[in-house]
A = this chain, B = another copy of it.
Protein backbone atom coordinates (compact mmCIF):
# COMPACT_ATOMS: atom_id res chain seq x y z
CA UNK A 1 0.00 0.00 0.00
CA UNK A 2 1.74 3.22 -1.10
CA UNK A 3 2.10 5.53 1.88
CA UNK A 4 1.89 9.15 0.75
CA UNK A 5 1.54 10.79 4.18
CA UNK A 6 5.16 11.20 5.33
CA UNK A 7 4.37 14.72 6.56
CA UNK A 8 2.09 13.24 9.25
CA UNK A 9 4.66 10.70 10.35
CA UNK A 10 7.56 9.29 8.38
CA UNK A 11 8.10 5.52 8.49
CA UNK A 12 10.80 4.65 11.04
CA UNK A 13 14.18 4.75 9.26
CA UNK A 14 15.67 1.21 9.09
CA UNK A 15 18.86 2.38 10.84
CA UNK A 16 16.76 4.06 13.55
CA UNK A 17 14.91 0.82 14.09
CA UNK A 18 18.21 -1.04 14.57
CA UNK A 19 19.47 1.70 16.89
CA UNK A 20 16.27 1.56 18.94
CA UNK A 21 16.65 -2.19 19.41
CA UNK A 22 20.29 -1.88 20.52
CA UNK A 23 19.44 1.03 22.79
CA UNK A 24 16.77 -1.03 24.56
CA UNK A 25 19.73 -3.16 25.72
CA UNK A 26 22.41 -0.50 26.18
CA UNK A 27 20.55 2.70 27.05
CA UNK A 28 17.63 1.42 29.12
CA UNK A 29 18.78 2.66 32.54
CA UNK A 30 18.05 6.03 34.17
CA UNK A 31 20.70 8.46 32.83
CA UNK A 32 20.58 10.39 36.12
CA UNK A 33 22.00 7.40 38.03
CA UNK A 34 25.65 7.00 38.95
CA UNK A 35 26.10 3.24 38.50
CA UNK A 36 27.51 1.67 35.34
CA UNK A 37 24.26 1.20 33.38
CA UNK A 38 23.12 4.70 34.32
CA UNK A 39 26.43 6.19 33.20
CA UNK A 40 26.21 4.27 29.93
CA UNK A 41 22.71 5.63 29.28
CA UNK A 42 23.99 9.15 30.05
CA UNK A 43 26.91 8.70 27.65
CA UNK A 44 24.62 7.53 24.85
CA UNK A 45 22.22 10.40 25.55
CA UNK A 46 25.07 12.90 25.39
CA UNK A 47 26.30 11.41 22.11
CA UNK A 48 22.78 11.59 20.63
CA UNK A 49 22.50 15.21 21.75
CA UNK A 50 25.80 16.03 20.03
CA UNK A 51 24.66 14.39 16.80
CA UNK A 52 21.31 16.16 16.70
CA UNK A 53 22.86 19.49 17.69
CA UNK A 54 25.46 19.21 14.93
CA UNK A 55 22.83 18.35 12.29
CA UNK A 56 20.65 21.29 13.37
CA UNK A 57 23.49 23.82 13.63
CA UNK A 58 23.25 24.13 17.41
CA UNK A 59 25.56 23.56 20.37
CA UNK A 60 24.80 20.45 22.44
CA UNK A 61 24.04 22.55 25.53
CA UNK A 62 21.48 24.53 23.51
CA UNK A 63 19.45 21.38 22.73
CA UNK A 64 16.80 19.95 25.06
CA UNK A 65 14.66 16.95 24.18
CA UNK A 66 10.91 17.35 24.45
CA UNK A 67 8.33 14.60 24.00
CA UNK A 68 6.82 15.97 20.77
CA UNK A 69 7.05 18.82 18.29
CA UNK A 70 3.83 20.17 19.81
CA UNK A 71 5.37 20.29 23.28
CA UNK A 72 8.49 21.90 21.82
CA UNK A 73 6.39 24.66 20.23
CA UNK A 74 4.29 25.21 23.37
CA UNK A 75 7.43 25.52 25.51
CA UNK A 76 9.32 27.63 22.98
CA UNK A 77 6.49 30.16 22.55
CA UNK A 78 5.50 30.47 26.22
CA UNK A 79 9.07 30.13 27.58
CA UNK A 80 10.49 32.78 25.27
CA UNK A 81 7.57 35.14 26.00
CA UNK A 82 8.09 34.64 29.76
CA UNK A 83 11.86 35.13 29.44
CA UNK A 84 11.46 38.32 27.42
CA UNK A 85 8.45 39.80 29.22
CA UNK A 86 10.40 42.96 30.15
CA UNK A 87 10.55 43.82 26.46
CA UNK A 88 6.78 43.58 26.20
CA UNK A 89 3.95 41.12 25.68
CA UNK A 90 3.52 41.25 21.91
CA UNK A 91 3.86 38.06 19.87
CA UNK A 92 4.13 37.97 16.07
CA UNK A 93 3.61 34.85 13.99
CA UNK A 94 2.68 34.03 10.42
CA UNK A 95 -0.97 33.20 9.78
CA UNK A 96 -0.04 29.70 8.62
CA UNK A 97 1.92 28.36 11.63
CA UNK A 98 1.23 24.89 13.02
CA UNK A 99 -1.78 24.65 15.32
CA UNK A 100 0.54 24.14 18.33
CA UNK A 101 1.94 27.65 17.79
CA UNK A 102 -1.55 29.11 17.37
CA UNK A 103 -2.76 27.33 20.52
CA UNK A 104 0.16 28.69 22.54
CA UNK A 105 -0.62 32.14 21.11
CA UNK A 106 -4.27 31.77 22.19
CA UNK A 107 -3.07 30.92 25.68
CA UNK A 108 -0.85 34.02 25.66
CA UNK A 109 -3.77 36.15 24.53
CA UNK A 110 -6.05 34.67 27.21
CA UNK A 111 -3.37 35.65 29.75
CA UNK A 112 -3.51 39.26 28.57
CA UNK A 113 -0.80 39.20 25.89
CA UNK A 114 -1.10 40.71 22.41
CA UNK A 115 -0.78 38.66 19.24
CA UNK A 116 -0.34 39.70 15.62
CA UNK A 117 -0.60 37.33 12.65
CA UNK A 118 1.29 38.18 9.45
CA UNK A 119 -0.78 37.35 6.35
CA UNK A 120 0.47 35.15 3.50
CA UNK A 121 0.03 35.30 -0.26
CA UNK A 122 -2.08 32.85 -2.27
CA UNK A 123 0.90 30.45 -2.27
CA UNK A 124 1.05 30.49 1.53
CA UNK A 125 4.25 32.54 1.74
CA UNK A 126 4.86 35.50 4.04
CA UNK A 127 6.58 38.58 2.71
CA UNK A 128 9.69 39.35 4.74
CA UNK A 129 8.89 43.05 4.51
CA UNK A 130 5.37 42.55 5.87
CA UNK A 131 6.77 40.37 8.63
CA UNK A 132 9.35 43.03 9.52
CA UNK A 133 6.65 45.72 9.55
CA UNK A 134 4.66 43.70 12.11
CA UNK A 135 7.48 43.90 14.67
CA UNK A 136 6.85 46.48 17.39
CA UNK A 137 9.00 47.91 20.18
CA UNK A 138 7.09 45.66 22.61
CA UNK A 139 7.42 42.51 20.50
CA UNK A 140 8.91 39.84 22.74
CA UNK A 141 8.91 36.97 20.21
CA UNK A 142 8.44 36.31 16.52
CA UNK A 143 7.57 32.86 15.14
CA UNK A 144 8.05 31.60 11.60
CA UNK A 145 7.96 28.05 10.30
CA UNK A 146 10.72 26.92 7.95
CA UNK A 147 8.14 25.33 5.64
CA UNK A 148 4.40 24.97 5.78
CA UNK A 149 3.02 21.62 6.93
CA UNK A 150 -0.06 21.70 4.72
CA UNK A 151 1.11 23.08 1.40
CA UNK A 152 4.91 22.73 1.62
CA UNK A 153 5.69 26.38 0.94
CA UNK A 154 9.16 27.33 2.21
CA UNK A 155 9.23 30.61 4.11
CA UNK A 156 11.86 33.37 3.77
CA UNK A 157 13.37 32.60 7.18
CA UNK A 158 16.84 34.06 6.56
CA UNK A 159 15.43 37.45 5.49
CA UNK A 160 12.97 37.51 8.38
CA UNK A 161 15.76 36.53 10.80
CA UNK A 162 17.79 39.54 9.69
CA UNK A 163 14.87 41.89 10.28
CA UNK A 164 14.21 40.34 13.70
CA UNK A 165 17.88 40.64 14.66
CA UNK A 166 17.88 44.31 13.60
CA UNK A 167 14.78 44.90 15.75
CA UNK A 168 16.20 42.94 18.68
CA UNK A 169 13.34 40.43 18.57
CA UNK A 170 14.12 36.74 19.19
CA UNK A 171 12.90 34.49 16.36
CA UNK A 172 11.49 31.00 16.91
CA UNK A 173 11.84 28.85 13.81
CA UNK A 174 9.51 25.84 13.72
CA UNK A 175 11.51 23.47 11.53
CA UNK A 176 9.27 20.43 12.05
CA UNK A 177 8.45 19.98 8.36
CA UNK A 178 11.91 20.63 6.93
CA UNK A 179 14.39 19.24 9.49
CA UNK A 180 15.67 16.14 7.76
CA UNK A 181 15.18 16.88 4.06
CA UNK A 182 16.49 20.47 4.28
CA UNK A 183 19.26 22.12 6.31
CA UNK A 184 18.04 24.34 9.13
CA UNK A 185 17.97 27.99 8.04
CA UNK A 186 20.39 30.33 9.83
CA UNK A 187 19.38 33.07 12.20
CA UNK A 188 17.10 31.32 14.69
CA UNK A 189 17.01 32.24 18.37
CA UNK A 190 14.85 29.25 19.23
CA UNK A 191 14.38 26.18 17.07
CA UNK A 192 11.86 23.35 17.29
CA UNK A 193 11.53 20.04 15.47
CA UNK A 194 9.92 16.62 15.75
CA UNK A 195 11.82 13.34 15.28
CA UNK A 196 8.94 11.25 13.89
CA UNK A 197 8.71 13.67 10.95
CA UNK A 198 12.31 12.86 9.91
CA UNK A 199 12.12 9.08 10.37
CA UNK A 200 12.84 8.85 14.07
CA UNK A 201 10.46 7.25 16.57
CA UNK A 202 7.49 8.99 18.21
CA UNK A 203 7.97 10.67 21.56
CA UNK A 204 10.99 12.86 20.71
CA UNK A 205 10.90 16.57 19.93
CA UNK A 206 13.67 19.14 19.95
CA UNK A 207 13.74 22.54 21.64
CA UNK A 208 16.95 24.46 20.99
CA UNK A 209 17.54 27.81 22.66
CA UNK A 210 20.53 29.83 21.43
CA UNK A 211 23.07 30.73 24.11
CA UNK A 212 22.15 34.16 25.43
CA UNK A 213 18.48 34.04 24.42
CA UNK A 214 16.24 34.63 27.43
CA UNK A 215 13.98 31.71 28.32
CA UNK A 216 11.93 30.91 31.41
CA UNK A 217 10.17 27.56 31.57
CA UNK A 218 6.38 27.90 31.77
CA UNK A 219 6.19 24.51 33.52
CA UNK A 220 6.89 23.47 37.12
CA UNK A 221 10.59 23.10 38.00
CA UNK A 222 12.57 19.96 37.17
CA UNK A 223 16.30 19.40 36.95
CA UNK A 224 16.29 17.31 33.76
CA UNK A 225 17.04 18.71 30.28
CA UNK A 226 18.65 21.90 31.67
CA UNK A 227 15.42 22.65 33.54
CA UNK A 228 13.57 23.14 30.24
CA UNK A 229 11.60 19.91 29.88
CA UNK A 230 10.34 18.09 32.98
CA UNK A 231 10.10 14.31 33.12
CA UNK A 232 12.02 11.13 32.50
CA UNK A 233 14.04 11.20 29.27
CA UNK A 234 13.31 8.32 26.88
CA UNK A 235 16.95 7.56 26.05
CA UNK A 236 16.43 4.70 23.54
CA UNK A 237 14.02 6.85 21.52
CA UNK A 238 16.42 9.82 21.54
CA UNK A 239 19.27 7.60 20.33
CA UNK A 240 17.10 6.28 17.48
CA UNK A 241 16.08 9.85 16.61
CA UNK A 242 19.73 10.89 16.32
CA UNK A 243 20.62 7.94 14.10
CA UNK A 244 17.64 8.69 11.85
CA UNK A 245 18.51 12.39 11.51
CA UNK A 246 22.13 11.69 10.60
CA UNK A 247 21.10 9.06 8.02
CA UNK A 248 18.41 11.27 6.49
CA UNK A 249 20.70 14.27 6.24
CA UNK A 250 23.35 12.16 4.49
CA UNK A 251 20.83 10.90 1.92
CA UNK A 252 19.02 14.23 1.56
CA UNK A 253 20.79 15.86 -1.40
CA UNK A 254 20.26 12.89 -3.70
CA UNK A 255 16.80 11.98 -2.42
CA UNK A 256 15.59 15.58 -2.69
CA UNK A 257 16.40 15.66 -6.43
CA UNK A 258 14.33 12.53 -7.02
CA UNK A 259 11.42 13.62 -4.84
CA UNK A 260 11.45 17.12 -6.32
CA UNK A 261 11.10 15.63 -9.80
CA UNK A 262 8.24 13.36 -8.71
CA UNK A 263 6.30 16.26 -7.20
CA UNK A 264 7.06 18.35 -10.29
CA UNK A 265 5.52 15.61 -12.39
CA UNK A 266 2.39 15.51 -10.21
CA UNK A 267 2.14 19.31 -10.36
CA UNK A 268 2.34 19.22 -14.14
CA UNK A 269 0.13 16.22 -14.90
CA UNK A 270 -2.65 16.31 -12.29
CA UNK A 271 -4.54 19.36 -13.60
CA UNK A 272 -4.73 17.77 -17.03
CA UNK A 273 -5.93 14.43 -15.66
CA UNK A 274 -8.62 15.68 -13.29
CA UNK A 275 -11.08 18.42 -14.26
CA UNK A 276 -11.39 21.33 -11.83
CA UNK A 277 -8.24 20.44 -9.90
CA UNK A 278 -6.03 23.25 -8.59
CA UNK A 279 -2.50 22.72 -7.32
CA UNK A 280 -1.75 24.76 -4.17
CA UNK A 281 1.44 26.17 -2.65
CA UNK A 282 4.52 27.93 -3.96
CA UNK A 283 5.83 26.23 -7.12
CA UNK A 284 9.39 27.41 -6.50
CA UNK A 285 9.92 27.78 -2.74
CA UNK A 286 8.68 24.38 -1.66
CA UNK A 287 9.51 21.17 0.17
CA UNK A 288 10.85 18.56 -2.24
CA UNK A 289 8.43 15.80 -1.27
CA UNK A 290 5.07 17.48 -0.60
CA UNK A 291 2.14 18.59 -2.74
CA UNK A 292 -1.38 19.72 -1.90
CA UNK A 293 -4.12 20.06 -4.46
CA UNK A 294 -7.75 20.86 -4.28
CA UNK A 295 -10.56 19.23 -6.25
CA UNK A 296 -13.66 21.31 -6.78
CA UNK A 297 -17.03 19.77 -5.87
CA UNK A 298 -15.50 17.07 -3.72
CA UNK A 299 -15.48 16.44 0.01
CA UNK A 300 -11.85 15.84 1.03
CA UNK A 301 -12.61 13.08 3.48
CA UNK A 302 -14.74 11.22 0.96
CA UNK A 303 -11.90 11.41 -1.57
CA UNK A 304 -9.44 10.25 1.09
CA UNK A 305 -11.63 7.21 1.76
CA UNK A 306 -11.87 6.47 -1.94
CA UNK A 307 -8.07 6.67 -2.27
CA UNK A 308 -7.72 4.46 0.82
CA UNK A 309 -9.91 1.86 -0.88
CA UNK A 310 -7.59 2.11 -3.89
CA UNK A 311 -4.61 1.51 -1.58
CA UNK A 312 -3.26 5.05 -1.07
CA UNK A 313 -2.66 6.71 2.30
CA UNK A 314 -2.93 10.50 1.99
CA UNK A 315 -4.04 13.39 4.20
CA UNK A 316 -6.94 15.72 3.70
CA UNK A 317 -7.32 19.29 4.83
CA UNK A 318 -5.56 20.61 7.84
CA UNK A 319 -3.36 17.87 9.22
CA UNK A 320 -4.03 18.61 12.86
CA UNK A 321 -7.62 19.76 12.76
CA UNK A 322 -9.18 17.32 10.32
CA UNK A 323 -10.89 15.57 13.22
CA UNK A 324 -12.58 18.78 14.36
CA UNK A 325 -14.29 19.61 11.04
CA UNK A 326 -13.14 23.23 11.21
CA UNK A 327 -11.76 24.67 7.96
CA UNK A 328 -7.96 24.63 7.70
CA UNK A 329 -6.57 27.96 8.95
CA UNK A 330 -3.71 27.60 6.46
CA UNK A 331 -5.93 27.35 3.41
CA UNK A 332 -8.20 30.08 4.77
CA UNK A 333 -5.20 32.42 5.19
CA UNK A 334 -4.17 31.67 1.60
CA UNK A 335 -7.67 32.56 0.42
CA UNK A 336 -8.07 29.23 -1.40
CA UNK A 337 -10.82 26.64 -1.21
CA UNK A 338 -10.74 24.87 2.15
CA UNK A 339 -12.64 21.83 0.86
CA UNK A 340 -11.65 18.92 -1.34
CA UNK A 341 -7.97 19.15 -0.43
CA UNK A 342 -5.54 16.27 -0.59
CA UNK A 343 -1.98 16.44 0.71
CA UNK A 344 0.51 14.03 -0.80
CA UNK A 345 3.85 13.71 1.00
CA UNK A 346 6.28 11.12 -0.31
CA UNK A 347 8.31 8.96 2.07
CA UNK A 348 12.00 8.22 1.31
CA UNK A 349 11.13 4.74 -0.01
CA UNK A 350 8.60 6.04 -2.53
CA UNK A 351 9.06 4.68 -6.06
CA UNK A 352 8.26 6.06 -9.50
CA UNK A 353 5.82 3.18 -9.88
CA UNK A 354 3.89 4.48 -6.86
CA UNK A 355 3.59 7.87 -8.53
CA UNK A 356 2.50 6.27 -11.83
CA UNK A 357 -0.17 4.33 -9.99
CA UNK A 358 -1.39 7.45 -8.17
CA UNK A 359 -1.76 9.27 -11.48
CA UNK A 360 -3.84 6.37 -12.78
CA UNK A 361 -5.96 5.98 -9.65
CA UNK A 362 -6.80 9.58 -8.78
CA UNK A 363 -9.01 10.54 -11.77
CA UNK A 364 -11.30 7.56 -11.16
CA UNK A 365 -11.41 8.24 -7.40
CA UNK A 366 -12.43 11.85 -7.96
CA UNK A 367 -15.03 10.80 -10.55
CA UNK A 368 -16.49 8.25 -8.12
CA UNK A 369 -16.84 10.81 -5.33
CA UNK A 370 -18.32 13.41 -7.66
CA UNK A 371 -20.83 10.83 -8.98
CA UNK A 372 -22.13 10.35 -5.45
CA UNK A 373 -23.26 13.97 -5.19
CA UNK A 374 -26.93 14.62 -4.50
CA UNK A 375 -29.12 15.83 -7.31
CA UNK A 376 -29.13 19.63 -7.60
CA UNK A 377 -31.74 21.43 -5.54
CA UNK A 378 -33.99 23.88 -7.35
CA UNK A 379 -33.21 27.57 -7.16
CA UNK A 380 -35.81 30.25 -6.48
CA UNK A 381 -35.92 33.52 -8.37
CA UNK A 382 -36.56 36.28 -5.82
CA UNK A 383 -36.16 40.07 -6.15
CA UNK A 384 -34.08 39.73 -9.33
CA UNK A 385 -31.70 37.17 -7.81
CA UNK A 386 -31.44 33.41 -8.02
CA UNK A 387 -31.57 32.15 -4.42
CA UNK A 388 -29.97 28.79 -3.60
CA UNK A 389 -30.97 27.41 -0.23
CA UNK A 390 -28.19 25.21 1.22
CA UNK A 391 -29.12 25.75 4.86
CA UNK A 392 -28.26 22.77 7.03
CA UNK A 393 -25.92 21.29 4.42
CA UNK A 394 -22.16 21.13 4.96
CA UNK A 395 -19.48 22.35 2.59
CA UNK A 396 -18.67 21.66 -0.18
CA UNK A 397 -22.42 21.60 -1.00
CA UNK A 398 -22.84 25.43 -1.10
CA UNK A 399 -20.03 25.75 -3.66
CA UNK A 400 -21.29 22.78 -5.64
CA UNK A 401 -24.81 24.27 -5.85
CA UNK A 402 -23.35 27.60 -6.88
CA UNK A 403 -21.37 26.01 -9.71
CA UNK A 404 -24.36 23.98 -10.89
CA UNK A 405 -26.71 26.93 -11.08
CA UNK A 406 -24.30 29.60 -12.34
CA UNK A 407 -25.42 29.48 -15.94
CA UNK A 408 -29.08 29.86 -14.93
CA UNK A 409 -28.49 33.59 -14.51
CA UNK A 410 -27.31 35.78 -17.39
CA UNK A 411 -23.83 37.35 -17.33
CA UNK A 412 -24.19 40.28 -14.92
CA UNK A 413 -26.88 38.45 -12.93
CA UNK A 414 -26.64 37.78 -9.20
CA UNK A 415 -26.90 34.52 -7.26
CA UNK A 416 -27.48 34.43 -3.49
CA UNK A 417 -26.30 31.27 -1.68
CA UNK A 418 -27.95 30.78 1.71
CA UNK A 419 -25.65 28.82 4.03
CA UNK A 420 -25.13 28.28 7.74
CA UNK A 421 -21.78 26.47 7.34
CA UNK A 422 -18.91 28.73 8.43
CA UNK A 423 -16.63 27.30 5.74
CA UNK A 424 -18.85 28.87 3.06
CA UNK A 425 -17.55 32.28 4.17
CA UNK A 426 -14.09 31.17 3.00
CA UNK A 427 -14.98 28.87 0.15
CA UNK A 428 -17.44 30.97 -1.85
CA UNK A 429 -15.03 33.92 -2.28
CA UNK A 430 -12.20 31.43 -3.00
CA UNK A 431 -14.30 29.71 -5.66
CA UNK A 432 -15.16 33.10 -7.26
CA UNK A 433 -11.44 33.94 -7.39
CA UNK A 434 -10.63 30.57 -9.02
CA UNK A 435 -13.49 30.80 -11.48
CA UNK A 436 -13.22 34.49 -12.40
CA UNK A 437 -16.62 35.41 -10.98
CA UNK A 438 -17.30 38.44 -8.79
CA UNK A 439 -17.89 37.98 -5.07
CA UNK A 440 -20.14 40.79 -3.87
CA UNK A 441 -20.14 40.12 -0.13
CA UNK A 442 -22.59 38.72 2.38
CA UNK A 443 -25.94 39.71 3.84
CA UNK A 444 -27.25 38.51 7.18
CA UNK A 445 -30.70 36.96 6.81
CA UNK A 446 -33.22 35.53 9.29
CA UNK A 447 -32.15 31.90 8.74
CA UNK A 448 -28.48 32.17 7.79
CA UNK A 449 -26.06 34.19 5.72
CA UNK A 450 -26.67 35.02 2.06
CA UNK A 451 -23.45 35.09 0.01
CA UNK A 452 -23.82 37.16 -3.14
CA UNK A 453 -22.07 36.34 -6.42
CA UNK A 454 -22.24 38.20 -9.75
CA UNK A 455 -21.73 36.07 -12.86
CA UNK A 456 -18.98 37.61 -15.00
CA UNK A 457 -18.32 34.90 -17.58
Identify the A interface with B (CB < 8 A).
Answer: 1, 3, 5, 8-9, 11-12, 17, 20-21, 24, 28-30, 32-38, 67-71, 74, 78, 99-100, 103-104, 106-107, 194, 196, 201-203, 205, 219-223, 230-237, 301, 304-305, 307-308, 312-316, 320-324
Contact = CB atoms under 8 A, between A and B. Distances in A.
Contact of A104 (B11, B17, B220, B232): B220
Given A36-B1, A324-B223, A231 B71 contact: yes
21 contacts: A5-B35, A8-B30, A9-B29, A21-B21, A34-B304, A35-B308, A68-B231, A69-B231, A69-B232, A70-B222, A70-B232, A74-B219, A78-B220, A107-B219, A107-B221, A201-B236, A202-B233, A202-B236, A202-B237, A203-B232, A223-B320
Contacts of A32: 8, 320, 322-323
A236 B21 CA distance: 13
Nearest to A11: B28
A316 B38 CA distance: 13
Contacts of A205: 231
How many copies of this chain does the complex contain?
2
Nearest to A101: B220
Residue among A5, A67, A104, A219 with max Cβ neighbours from chain B (10 Å): A67
A68 B194 CA distance: 18
Given A9-B30, A68-B67, A324-B223, A37 B231 contact: no
A203 B3 contact: no
B103 A38 contact: no
Given A28-B11, A30-B5, A30-B8, A67 B67 contact: yes
A124 to B, nearest CB: 22
Contacts of A316: 34
Contacts of A21: 21
Contact of A36 (B20, B28, B67, B313): B313
Residue among A69, A100, A231, A235 with max Cβ neighbours from chain B (10 Å): A231
B68 A321 contact: no
A370 B340 CA distance: 75
B12 A232 contact: no
Nearest to A197: B232
Contacts of A17: 24
Given A74-B219, A106-B221, A234 B201 contact: yes
B221 A103 contact: yes
A238 to B, nearest CB: 9
Residue among A17, A232, A235, A315 with max Cβ neighbours from chain B (10 Å): A232
Contacts of A103: 220-222, 230
B203 A314 contact: no
A33 B315 CA distance: 7
A71 B34 CA distance: 24
